[in-house]
Amino acid sequence: MDDTFIDANADPFELFETWMAEAEQSEPNDPNAMALATSTLQGAPSLRMILLKGADRRGFVFYTNLESRKGSEIAVNPQAALLFHWKSLRRQIRIEGVLSAVSNAEADSYFASRRHISQLGAIASDQSRPLPERSVFEERLNTLMTRYPEGSTVPRPANWSGFRLTPKRMEFWQDRDFRLHDRCVWTLTGNTWTTERLYP
């Protein structure tokens, strides 16, 4: 564990990049894994682990079936939260903000970069909806494999795209002995980020 304290004067995006780079060196699996919390219009929450697929000053990007549970919730309530937890580093980052759709060009580019079987899976899956039995899904995949053999171009389905979370709040947490943790939060007001240290 890093025994230094979080630099409250740091740029939060640069600090995220630093922590992510360190996680990529230490985490055994999926350092880009993050929990995504969404909710219904009435405020009933749901939570799942997904993968971060892009991060810059515009926000944090992930992709999904737009007709999935999270896609349906985002459509009516675009406020969301992310949580990165890196056990190997004893760190976490909480990010809150508003989601917006990525451009078609961004979605097309990322979809084209996916493995062939993952592209087909995105088409075959009615994500989050009842599956009578596994064979139904596998039959769909087999049909698509015939239609789009390895090496062919697979078109991105219209119901598959991505979202960008534009952060309004970013909290960095570092575990310390005896639960005397170190916490700093950055909050966006207008166009200005302000920061403060929090009690553990």
Could you tell me the two tokens for 133? Answer: 């039995």
Amino acid making up residue 81: A
DSSP bridge partners of 96: 81, 169
Pairing of strands 59-65, 54-56: antiparallel
Nearest residue to 33 (alpha-carbon basis) of 97, 77, 93, 90: 93
Q: Which of 48, 179, 183, 197 is catalytic?
A: 179
Q: What are phi and psi of 120, to 5 degrees?
A: -65, -40
* Residue 154 contacts residue 123 (beta carbons within 8 Å): yes
Residue 130: half-sphere exposure toward Cβ, Cα within 13 Å: 1
The reply to whether 179 belongs to the active site is yes
Which stretches does DSSP call E strand in the chain? 33-39, 45-51, 54-56, 59-65, 79-86, 91-101, 160-174, 182-189, 192-198
- Which sequence positions are flagged as catalytic? 179
